[in-house]
């Protein structure tokens, strides 16, 4: 019955410990910089202000209220309306759905800001948008526009082959993709407030998302059972501070909200990802590349919230027809250079 | 004591932690139950309605048939702590600040009007020191937060920010526009648990 709290170490530690952690770490900035580990830092001065906007706490807090929900990729106002009616918790505005990005080739960039603005004006849900990895200015543009969360995404063509954005410098929270715990913790060190699996976007094939989620969970279990001295080694190997590794072991989970993404196409796919430990799901091409987007969107919402109840997942799965699912792409048929998940590690 | 957290979507585990902490402080033996179905609801002596996306919670609540029994229990005096979107669930009137759009209330048990996204978008989300009647200073964490307007004398305003009610009480129901579960301060959860005992 207590499907969420029984598996979540947050129940023993509490949200406050996570928010406080980053400020404490900032106090130890000099030491960490000496070790060449942590060059990006939050600014703890915001703690002393009577009223403070865009603090670490409100950025980490925002995705908490997305948990158990579905964030849907949309390309226009009409699709955003369908997502809202279906019970999505947020929409992600793109220029093209990942499936079409694959087909189109060329350079994939941030979506048209006019379309993002139209969507923001048309629905009351939070609106997210993607920027290219390392593209500080696209992110600044979206922050100025007022999007609620920025996805620094491998689905777009990376702008910086070496660095990600220093996300502590923004009032708006960021979500980043990860294939394993090292990637996840590095993104968190850079200021990401939320993590998602990368999966393999635009394929309609959930296999890669499963692999990434299982990898992260297995690595956390490994950390928990490890001797302290081995965690020190592990932290060095992953290129993150030992303190962040300790926090992860104590929480027994990714220290920020952790969603599944990349290839989710059916209610059962969504429920599977939740069962594997995801806090919620992103659905990209799966909805609007299907033949039954309205029913499918609503069905995926139901299955994501009630993943622990097979009867509810059955009900959700009955709302859609497999004949109307997106065709999907077998990942083994993709050439190595066609894989999106290898971008930005 | 058995207390529920409505577990459709949103910040559920954060409340479970805070309830356990608050019970520890008060020396109460507490069991927390995630409420998704009528059977779960029947067991609890109080319920937390957590924050989330109110339209998503509304949709799920309708579909799962939890809305009617929950409305009935709250009307019959079940103690409630509603935070943010949780407050929107019990409000008689819900409107969106930006679009002016009216929303159908899910439960509509309480005499408040909730104005969603009152302070703006996530960029404008903030934390602020509040003064709460009976509690004193409290760090309020506001995430795309609403404000509340009392619709009758029965509603007591416990705290205001910039002239707008951000915490109210109507008999058995305590509502906040902010998120006490994102701090380590358990005083509001303790207030809620004491209202049950």
Task: Tell me if chain A has a CB within 8 Å of the CB of B149.
Answer: no
Tell me the pLDDT of chain A averaged across its residues.
93
Task: Tell me if chain A has a CB within 8 Å of the CB of B117.
Answer: yes
pLDDT of the residue at B174: 98
Label residue A108 by pLDDT band (50, 70, 90): very high
Strand order from edge to edge, sheet including A194-197 = A257-259, A194-197, A174-178, A149-153, A127-132, A90-93, A70-74, A281-283
pLDDT of the residue at A37: 64
Task: Tell me if chain A has a CB within 8 Å of the CB of B142.
Answer: yes
What's the gap in Å between the CA of A181 and the closest CA on chain B? Answer: 22
Q: In this complex, do A125 and B36 lie within 8 Å of one another by their Cβ atoms?
A: no
Q: Choose the weakest-confidence range: A29-38, A41-50, A126-135, A150-159.
A: A29-38
- Give the CA count within 13 Å in the CB-facing half-sphere of B171: 13
DSSP bridge pairs for A281: A70, A260
CB count, 10 Å around CB of B135?
Answer: 16
The whole-angstrom separation of Cα B193 and Cα B197 is 7
pLDDT digits (tens, 9 = 90+) for B5-19: 999 999 999 999 999
Share of chain B above pLDDT 90, in %: 91
What's the gap in Å between the CA of A236 and the closest CA on chain B? Answer: 31
pLDDT of the residue at A179: 97
Give the SS3 label for residue A98: helix
Q: In this complex, do A14 and B14 lie within 8 Å of one another by their Cβ atoms?
A: yes
CB count, 10 Å around CB of A45?
Answer: 10
Residue A341 has pLDDT above 80, yes or no: yes
Q: Which residues of B are catalytic?
A: 84, 179, 181
A71-76 average pLDDT score: 96
Instruction: Provide φ and ψ at B142, rounded to 5°.
Output: -110, 115
Residue A327 has pLDDT above 90, yes or no: no
pLDDT of the residue at A101: 87
pLDDT of the residue at A49: 86
Label residue A83 by pLDDT band (50, 70, 90): very high
Sign of the dihedral defined by the CA atoms of residues A279, A284, A290, A295, in that order: positive
Structure tokens at A50: 């009577």
C-alpha torsion A41→A36→A195→A22, nearest 10: -40
Residue of A nearest to B139 (CA): A50
> What DSSP string describes B29-93?
--EEEEE-SHHHHHH-S-EEE--S-HHHHHHHHHHHT-HHHHHHHHHTT--EEEETHHHHHHEEE
Residue of A nearest to B179 (CA): A61
Label residue A51 by pLDDT band (50, 70, 90): very high
Q: Identify which of A322-331, B103-112, B142-151 has the greatest average pLDDT.
A: B142-151
Q: Tokens 């999966």: give the residue.
A: A199
CB pairs < 8 Å spanning A and B = 172
pLDDT digits (tens, 9 = 90+) for A160-184: 999 999 999 999 999 999 999 999 9
Which chain A residues contact residue B41 at CB under 8 A?
A: none
A134-146 average pLDDT score: 98
Label residue A76 by pLDDT band (50, 70, 90): very high
Which chain B residues contact residue A302 at CB under 8 A?
A: 60, 63
Which chain A residues contact residue B32 at CB under 8 A?
A: 2, 5
pLDDT digits (tens, 9 = 90+) for B143-179: 999 999 999 999 999 999 999 999 999 999 999 999 9
CA distance between the termini of chain A = 37
- Buried b / exposed e across B24-34, counting CB within 10 Å, b at 16+? eeeebebebbb
Which chain B residues contact residue A194 at CB under 8 A?
A: none
Label residue A45 by pLDDT band (50, 70, 90): confident
A29-58 average pLDDT score: 80
pLDDT digits (tens, 9 = 90+) for B65-105: 899 999 999 999 999 999 999 999 999 999 999 888 898 88
CB count, 10 Å around CB of B137?
Answer: 10
Q: Choose the weakest-confidence range: A88-92, A184-188, A330-334, B68-72.
A: A330-334
Query: Higher confidence at residue B66 or residue A324?
Result: B66
Q: In this complex, do B117 and A124 lie within 8 Å of one another by their Cβ atoms?
A: yes
Going by C-alpha positions, the residue among A8, A15, A45 that lies closest to residue B185 is A15
Cα→Cα distances A111→A115, A117, A193, B161, Å = 7, 10, 22, 36
Domains of chain B by range and CATH? Answer: 2-196 (3.40.50.880)
What's the gap in Å between the CA of A44 and the closest CA on chain B? Answer: 14
pLDDT of the residue at B105: 84
> What DSSP string describes B148-186?
EEE-STTPEEEEEETTEEEEEEETTEEEESS-GGGSS--
Q: Choose the weakest-confidence range: A135-144, A222-231, B32-41, B53-62.
A: B53-62
Task: Point out the residue among A120, A143, A305 whose CB comes nearest to the CB of B9.
Answer: A305
Give the SS3 label for residue A61: helix
The whole-angstrom separation of Cα B195 and Cα B186 is 14
The predicted complex's ipTM stands at: 0.96
Given a contact cutoff of 8 angstroms between Cβ atoms, the answer to whether A282 and A265 are in contact is no
Which chain A residues contact residue B12 at CB under 8 A?
A: 4-5, 67-68
pLDDT digits (tens, 9 = 90+) for B24-47: 999 999 999 999 999 999 999 999
Cα→Cα distances A24→A29, A252, B74, Å = 9, 20, 42
């Amino acid at each position: 019955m207590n499907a969420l709290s029984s598996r979540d170490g947050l129940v023993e530690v509490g949200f406050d410990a996570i928010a406080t952690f980053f400020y404490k770490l900032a106090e130890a900035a000099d030491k960490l910089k000496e070790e060449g580990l942590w060059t990006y830092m939050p600014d703890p001065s915001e703690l002393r202000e009577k009223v403070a906007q865009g603090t670490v706490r409100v950025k980490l807090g925002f995705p908490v209220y997305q948990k158990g929900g579905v964030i849907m990729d949309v390309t226009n106002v009409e699709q955003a309306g369908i997502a809202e009616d279906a019970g999505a918790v947020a929409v992600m505005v793109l220029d093209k759905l990942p499936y079409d990005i694959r087909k189109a080739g060329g350079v994939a960039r941030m979506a048209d800001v006019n379309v993002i603005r139209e969507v923001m004006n048309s629905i009351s849900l939070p609106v997210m948008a993607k920027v290219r990895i390392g593209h500080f200015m696209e992110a600044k543009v979206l922050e100025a526009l007022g999007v609620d969360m920025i996805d620094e995404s491998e689905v777009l063509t990376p702008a910086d082959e070496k660095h990600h954005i220093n996300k502590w410098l923004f009032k708006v929270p960021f979500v980043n993709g990860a294939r394993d715990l090292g990637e996840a913790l590095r993104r968190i060190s850079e200021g990401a407030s939320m993590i998602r699996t990368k999966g393999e976007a635009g394929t309609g094939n959930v296999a890669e998302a499963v692999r990434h989620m299982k990898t992260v969970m297995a690595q956390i279990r490994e950390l928990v059972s490890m001797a302290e001295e081995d965690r020190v080694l592990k932290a060095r190997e992953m290129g993150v501070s030992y303190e962040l590794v300790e926090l992860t072991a104590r929480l027994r989970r990714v220290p920020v909200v952790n969603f599944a993404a990349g290839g989710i196409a059916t209610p059962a796919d969504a429920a599977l990802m939740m069962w594997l430990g995801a806090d919620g799901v992103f659905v990209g091409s799966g909805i609007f590349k299907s033949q039954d987007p309205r029913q499918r969107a609503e069905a995926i919402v139901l299955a994501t919230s009630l993943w622990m109840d097979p009867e509810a997942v059955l009900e959700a799965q009955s709302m859609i027809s497999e004949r109307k699912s997106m065709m999907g792409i077998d990942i083994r048929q993709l050439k190595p250079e066609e894989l999106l998940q290898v971008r930005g590690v | 004591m058995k207390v529920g957290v409505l577990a459709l979507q949103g910040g559920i585990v954060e409340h479970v932690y805070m309830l356990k902490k608050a019970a520890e402080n008060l020396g109460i033996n507490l069991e927390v139950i995630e409420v998704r179905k009528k059977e779960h609801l029947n067991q609890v002596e109080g319920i937390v309605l957590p924050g989330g996306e109110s339209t998503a919670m509304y949709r799920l609540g309708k579909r799962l048939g939890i809305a009617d029994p929950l409305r009935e229990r709250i009307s019959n005096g079940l103690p409630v702590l509603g935070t943010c979107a949780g407050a929107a669930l019990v409000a008689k009137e819900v409107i969106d600040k930006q679009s002016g759009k009216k929303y159908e209330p899910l439960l509509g048990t309480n005499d408040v009007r909730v104005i969603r996204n009152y302070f703006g978008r996530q960029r404008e989300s903030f934390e602020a020191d509040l003064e709460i009647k009976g509690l004193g200073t409290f760090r309020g964490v506001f995430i795309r937060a609403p404000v509340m307007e009392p619709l009758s004398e029965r509603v007591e305003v416990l705290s205001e920010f910039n002239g707008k009610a951000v915490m109210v009480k109507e008999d058995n129901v305590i509502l906040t526009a902010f998120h006490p579960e994102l701090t380590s301060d358990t005083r509001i959860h303790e207030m809620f648990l004491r209202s049950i005992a």
